[in-house]
Structure 1
Amino acid sequence: MSAAPTDQPSSSSSFAQASPMPLAAPDTSAVPAPRVLSSAIARLPGYWSASVSAFAERRNAGPLCGASRKTRMTQTRNDTAATAGRQRVMFARLNHIAITTDHYAINAKFYEALFGLRTASKPRPARACVVSDGAVGMNIIPRREGRTSGLDHFGLEVEDVELARERISRFDPSIRLLKRPPVRPFAAFSAHDPDINIFDLSARNLKMQKDVYADDLDRTERKFSHFALRTRNAERCAEFYHEVFELSPLNRKAGDPNHYLSDGNMTLAILQWNIDDYAGMDPQRTGPDHIGFTVESIEKVKEDLEDLTGQNPHLHSRPLGYGDEGKARLELFKRCPLGHYHLTDIEGTYIDLAEG
């Protein structure tokens, strides 16, 4: 069984894979203190330091795109220092996940029934179904023509949208923000990272919020733990989310090509896409890969799923690991160390579980 990354921000000067060594104390002089990470991640050892403040020291010498790496990081530290007196939480947090599906209402019931996610006090029946664990919302969107079903995007809530926009421009001037219509209850802008992975962007305490984003909900026992992307330039994307949004790099095991960044509650897993991984199956496009939950007991979730499907045959998970291609897909899914049990929702979106 694979161990998950630890909750300590990584501490070497290079984002290249570090050699096994004792973990150093994180340098907190330049960033706000993060909130406590989930115990499912915190208690699993075995991962070595990957990076902390500079990601790739070699890139300080020249431009990646736009301003040089050294210039961008100096400005980010100045930005953070200027707000440190009033800011005691992370600059950004992952506040929503979006799934596109044909059977959006039934899929919402699946997450509500199996994971105990809560619904809005004033739902909007003609629009997406929205559920929440009390901290992170999930929009289950009716699939329109021309769109594929499955995980679609995620959203970030920031302390200062204009500061985030400035940092994005410093990192790569070609990345633009698109203002969203006012009917969107959870996002002011849409944007993308260097690999064109789409995310929404909103300001903290946004007055236009609706659905679960406007409700003060208690946390559920079963909670979202991570959102995973599979992308071609994982390291550069990790640098982007670290520099722009101050997400903290987590330690990773020697030889792990993936990157894990935390907002103090959720982990953004950036998985390295490689065509060689698909030798035994049809290649998968880059983009959102799976979501994860922290649960009190994996065995209890399995029992609950069996009971749930017995009560309502429409609320079921899809079988995994059947046939040669199914086995190959499941093995690739299992390479992400954040989950220890794997299942799907009713339309096949990958979900993994860890206890905590």
Structure 2
Amino acid sequence: MKTRAAVALGPGQDFEIRELELDEPRPDEVTVRMVASGVCHTDAIIRDQWYPVPLPAVLGHEGAGVVEAVGSAVQGLEVGDRVVVGPAFCGECEQCLAGHPMYCLNFYDRNFSARRTDGSTAFTAADGTAVGSNFFGQSSFAEHTNVVAHGTVKVAEDAPLDLLGPLGCGIMTGAGAVLNVLAPKPGSSIAIFGTGAVGMAAMLAAKAAGASTIIMVDIVPSRLEFARGLGATHTVNSKEQDPASAIAELTGGGVEYALDTTGVPAVFAQMTNSLGIRGHGALVGAARMGTEAPIDIGTLLVRGVSMSTVVEGDAVPKEFIPRLIALHERGAFPFDALTKTYAFDDINAAFADSASGETLKPIIVY
């Protein structure tokens, strides 16, 4: 079929909406009519070639939509099913079998090659040239796309698809890093560095987990004020004061848990320094390959801290996304407060607003 899609052409260039040819779904795929797709920082850094993903390609990896065709080998999905789409994974390697598909040994190839495993693409331009597809198993910046079936999560018929797409990456990343990896105990303390969508999702998850001291760190006063309105107990403007010192004063020595959502080396160092004795820190912020951060290992050694790097919240999407939906339905995870919708034709405005910080989590609605 023919479909409209936003094509990434190169660093710093606007996405171009073009009509492409979409092929038939492979045996392990389903064709999804996208209802909406979140805009994620990862889409921007791939467009700008922080990672060597071949362009031109259709990006987008926070899709939600309706199944319109089912591959011959797919089980458990039917035409008309409503789905949220998560990352692709092989399902067969030791990490997948151990319940950690976000650390699939084939994760990079399955999500960043912009190709199927056989080298083909689902999209073709008018002149017959291939256009990259299967980004994170989905390439959701298209009105129709072929999706790896095992990455889909079936949701209820009345589920708000125009809202749920970001659960497949950004919201899952922040919330999963807290709930699945740090796992703060009720009454515990946590510091979260960065008040973007991932950081705010982490904060909402920490609140849902029962953390009693939730400290948000950023340099934008309006974001910090917004965080307080959503549940932060304290805020620290790291442009005005050293966050590690401020956090030590607030907590009597440092937090039990901390999360860096920025990927900025100096912020990562601040996060590690904010930990108390035997504290546990985590990093989810993406940085350019080769980025190094200064860590005082001499001081950290005697503090017994732990450090984790976290991909996609270390989630099993078919288990974790329904948990987040259930929390949202109970009013315990109001991530909709982070979102703003944009028409498909306004996708470049959505990216600009995301980059400027005007919008925490843009959602493209088709």
**Class of the TM-score when normalised by the shorter of the 2 chains:** under 0.3
- TM-score normalised by the chain length of structure 2: 0.26
Q: Which has the higher contact order (CA 8 A, sep 6+)?
A: 1
The two structures have a TM-score, normalised by structure 1, of: 0.26
Point out the structure with the larger helix share.
Answer: 2
